[in-house]
Structure 1
Amino acid sequence: MNETMRSVLEFVKAGSLVTFVCISVWGCSKPAVSTTQERVRALESRCVQLEQDYRTVAQARDRARTDLAQAQEQLISLTKLQGELGDLKSKFRAATTEGEMIRKMLAQRTQERDDLRQQMTVRMNEREVLITRCDKLRKGLQSLLSQDDSSVEIIPASGN
């Protein structure tokens, strides 16, 4: 064999060796097909889980917004009620004060009425006493007049 053939043969061996090493390195560095598919499945399931989590969080956010709006409405209505309660307290105090004044006036008027009834009773008793005295005086005067009339009738009869 000649030297050229040998050198070609050595070149082919060296090329084959380099090709074999390159293919081996490329094959070892390439991930297995089943590993890639498993990774894709894992990423897909993780994506689905993240989408579910996003929907859950979005629903919770929407509920929180609704609850916040309701709480704000309740706060507004409670603030209004508190204002109305303050107004009612003021009106109640005024009514209580007015009621106290009316009670005092009622007590005063009741006392005046009782005093007037007592005075009326005294006056009626005085009137009854005076009526009785007048009746006695009238009867006494009538008695005196009848005595005087009987003596006047006797006197003219004796003068004739």
Structure 2
Amino acid sequence: IESIYPQLVKANFFEEFEIGAISTSEFIAQFQQFDNQITDDSILKAWNSMLLDIPTERLELISRLKKTHQVFLLSNTNDIHYNYINDYVKHKFQVKDFDEYFHKIYLSHQLKLRKPNPEIFKYVLENAQLQANETLFIDDSLEHINAAKNLGIKTHHLNLNQNQSLTQLFHEY
């Protein structure tokens, strides 16, 4: 896959996959157009290798916050990544599924929208019956932060390059 990476970067099917415009099988077929010797399994492994570990303390904090606050997840993702993360969390943390950490999860591939499109933020606010000025959106992308801020949503940029963590932000919890 490394040998075709420059070609993959130019292709736009990653975003199509994140907004659910193409299925998992279509996504895999797009990879195989660049090299038909690549197996489905090697594509899945390579695609999931970009995911970072979820720190235990982050999920513990989210669990504590959920007891006193409404907690939602809005993620640009796809079927492959979400299934991988869900399986990972179930096995590592012995929970039924990843969803139990949140009141509701909003996923780009299901909503057919992705951050920073303002429509995805508007959808979540309306669907969850949230007021923008009473909502805190935390993200590691300044582009996403700015899109939310433009709608009146309170924001916090989680700068992973400076090793910021959610536990530092919510130290009282």
The verdict on a shared fold, with TM-score over 0.5 as the criterion, is: no
**Higher relative strand content:** 2
- Who wins on radius of gyration, i.e. which is larger? 1
Q: Which has the higher contact order (CA 8 A, sep 6+)?
A: 2
* TM class by smaller structure: under 0.3
